[in-house]
Structure 1
Amino acid sequence: MTGIRSALAALVLAAGATAAGCGLSLEDVPLPSLVDGPTYPLTVEFEDALNLPVDAPVKLDGATVGQVTSVDAGEYVAEVELALSTTVELRDTSRAEIRLTSPMGTAFVQLFPGTSGEVLAAGDTLPTAATGSAPDVTDLLSSLSTVVTGGSFSDISTIITQLNTALTGNAGDVRRLLARLDTAVTDLNADFPRVDRLTAALDQLTTRLAGDLPEVTRSLTDLTDLVTSFDRQRADFVNAMVSLQRFDAVATPITRAVRDDMIAQLRDMEPVLRTLLDGRKDIDGVMRGLIAFAGGSDSAAPGDFANFDLTFLLDPKALGDTGDGR
């Protein structure tokens, strides 16, 4: 046992001396692989892979299935070479993202397998359209700085300043305004069923108008022709209105002048008309007698003619007495 230990110690010293002579360090010692078993290469293109180190793990559903073997600059993209376990089968619809283990942790590649498409073989490439990067602490701090210095907080500060300016010395008016607003909102809430019915009625009306759109269009077209006809006859309408105005200017003074005489004459005619109305039955009898007499005369002189004299006796005094009595 002592001889074996001495041999091992000599071997370690010899390896150390050799390493010291060649200028090697611990950084040159390769790290153990994160994946057991055979692997196959796959290239993934990212728009930015600045914080992704070599030998970073590649994860799928929480398990480490590979590691980053190199990060190179391509044509405006970062070409990341992965060594994936042969047990992992990815399709061309898969996605890859660079994520962090924690807000201040290390970066790794997260795979999201696709469910359709062709299976990726060794040496294939996932383009930038299928890759992305999760926001890191730098992005969070940058966004927070933008919000605090010139974003929503600045707008809120401006709003508060303007509110303070508007409310200074106007507290009473603002209270009354808020009270009225509360009353208006309460009334509107109480009448909400009525507003709902009104909205439903408006919806029915618009639906009906939409259904009657051809008829409405035709009516408007006919109305356009009518308005055009009126426009062509506008000069005649204006002349007619001018003539009517002139007639009114002449007729109004005449009507005012003869108004009293016409009223007096109508009042004088009232007793005569009343007498005729009261004797309507007698007049009807006389007229019937005249009709019967005419019929009898036709029978008495068939084919010939006869002359008759008819005299009416009117007593103006009697008519006057009747009018005065009424």
Structure 2
Amino acid sequence: MTGLRGLLAAALVTSAAGATAGCGLGLDDVPLPDLVEGPTYSVTLEFIDALNLPIDAPVKLEGATVGQVTEIEAGAYVAEVEVALSESVELRTGSRAEIRLTSPMGTAFVELFPARRGLVMAEGDVLPATATGTAPDVTDLLSALSTVVTGGSFDDISTIITQLNVALTGNAGDVRLFLGRLDRAVTDLASDLPLVDRLTAAVGRLSSRLASDLPVITRSLVDLTDLVESFEAQRSELVAALDALRRFDAVATPFTRTVRADLLAQLEDMRPVVQTLLDGRQDIDGIMNGLIAFASGSDRAAPGDYVNFDLTFLADLEALLQFHHGDEPPVDPDIPERGGAR
């Protein structure tokens, strides 16, 4: 039974191989399985040098495969690499992409470095060549090694060692002291790394805010430039105005001091007059009230339009001072009342 099963299996394999050969198919025609499950969206990555990046190469994010290369085309001095990313990945503007190798002789893949801020990229968006790069490959390593092996750096190393020997001869104490200070400085710097990180983050936030306010800053600088140019055009007039103001201040200050002194002297001279008026206010009030009462009596004594008479009177100031405002004057029996016989 075992021999029969082996013959049947061999026959099936032979039949399958014959059918494949007859149709002209090969292993290259067998489609590879998708590296990402679920819905995807396409994004174009521009590279200055795409190395040997193959179609269907994986696209990784923090070590996890999140997409694959679907197409590579030559653009305007760049390689346009179209990748299909899982919709669960939100790639933002400002992100970076780099072509790396799985090992020095391994296959190439695309590594993503997402940005924390920016707009979320959608179907058909492009990540420019300024945000992409390539990691050093074996060719770069062999070129550097060739330079070293052929003596390109050995002479420099020998020169450095010779100069170090010259510098250290007789200066061992100073060098030891310098190394100790350098060690303390590095230790202090290491202890302040959290502060440096916060400072760097603050500078990053400030840079982002300045970048967002760049149009406003640009307009302000343009307006400031126009203002400076206007001041420059009127500089001679401004200098003349300031010089005139200086001369006016030289004249106005002594004049103001003189006027102030004269005004104070006049006010001081008026002090006795005002004080006398205040002291005699009651007497003045009495005299004025007497004059008002005399005027009222004159109106009652001459009710017509005209009157002719000779009058001789003696003014008793003390009697006039006895009248107060609002008191009725005494009635003279010889003066007739208005509208009556007496």
TM-score range, shorter chain: 0.3 to 0.5
Give TM-score, length-normalised by structure 2.
Answer: 0.43
Query: TM-score, normalised on structure 1?
Result: 0.45
Q: Quick check: which one's helix share is greater?
A: 1
